[in-house]
A and B are shown apart, each in its own frame.
Chain A
Amino acid sequence: MNRLGRLITLDWLLQKEIWEHERLRHEPRDRFIRFMNENSELVQRVQQKYLASYLNMKPETFSRYKHLLRG
C-alpha cells in the first residue's frame, strides 16, 4: 500500500510539473490552442469562464481567441 501511495503521489506530482511547464512556457494564445486541441471533451462540458480561469486568462481574452479554432 505504501508503494501504491507512492506511485499515485508521484504521478500527481508529475502532472503538476507538466502543467506548470505548460503554463509558463507558452504565451496565452498558444496555451489556448494547445489546451483546446487536447481537451475537446472538457470544452464541451465546462463553462467558458471556468476554462478561462484555469488557463489563467480573462474570459474576454478566451472569447477573443475562439476564432482561432474555426476553419
Chain B
Amino acid sequence: MQSLYEYIRQYANVTQEEFERIAKLLETVECGKKHILTQKGQVEKYLYIINRGLVRKFFYKNKEEVITQIAKEKDLVCSSVSFLSQKPSEYVVETLEPCTLFALSYENLQKMYSWGHHMNRLGRLITLDWLLQKEIWEHERLRHEPRDRFIRFMNENSELVQRVQQKYLASYLNMKPETFSRYKHLLRG
C-alpha cells in the first residue's frame, strides 16, 4: 500500500488519514497470468492500479487482437470507456504476468468524489494526466514512420521489451509481427 500512497501523492497532498480512508475502498486482487479481468460485452466494474505485474488491453478487429495499452507497475488500467460510461466493454483486459492489483469499483469512486472538492481535485489531476499520456501516444503513433516508432519505443521501454511477447509489442506499435522482427537488427551494434 505504501507504493500506492506515493502514487497518489504525486498528484495531490493527501494526509495519511485521508489515504487510509481511500485505502479502505480498495480491493486487493491477486491473479495469475492470462487472467481475464474484463471480458468483451461486460460492464467494467473496476479501475485497477497495478502494484505488481503487467496487463494488456485489446479489442478484436475481426479475429485479430489489437492492443491499445500495455500497463505496468503504477499504471492505471481498465476498459475505460466502459468503466466511465457503465456500458458494455468493447475491450478485453487481461493480465500478462502474475499480478497484484488494487481495484477501485465505480461505486466506491463515486463515494470518494462525494467526500468533497479535495477528492474531485485528485480525480481531475489523475484524469488529466491520463488524457495527456493518451494525446502524447497518439502523436507518437501518427508522427513517426513504423521504423522510427520501433526504435523510439525500444529505446524508451527496454524493460517492457524483456517482459512482453514480441507479437504483443508489435500489435501495440500497430505493425505486423514480421515487420517487428525485421526491425530488430536496427538495435544491434
- Interface of A toward B, CB cutoff 8 Å: 1-3, 5-6, 9-10, 12-14, 16-18, 20-21, 24-25, 56
Contacts and interface: CB of A to CB of B under 8 A. Distances in A.
Main secondary structure of the interface of B (DSSP, over half): helix
Report, as a range, how many residues of chain B touch the other chain: 20 to 34
A38 to B, nearest CB: 17
B81 A17 contact: yes
B35 interface: no
Contact of A9 (B66, B90, B131, B174): B131
A20 B138 contact: yes
B131 A6 contact: no
Contacts, number: 57
Interface of B: 59, 61, 66, 68, 80-81, 84-85, 90, 113, 117, 120-121, 123-124, 127-128, 130-131, 134-135, 138, 142, 174
A59 B57 CA distance: 32
20 contacts: A2-B121, A6-B113, A6-B121, A6-B124, A6-B127, A9-B124, A9-B128, A9-B131, A13-B80, A13-B84, A13-B127, A13-B130, A14-B81, A16-B131, A17-B80, A20-B68, A24-B61, A24-B68, A25-B59, A25-B61
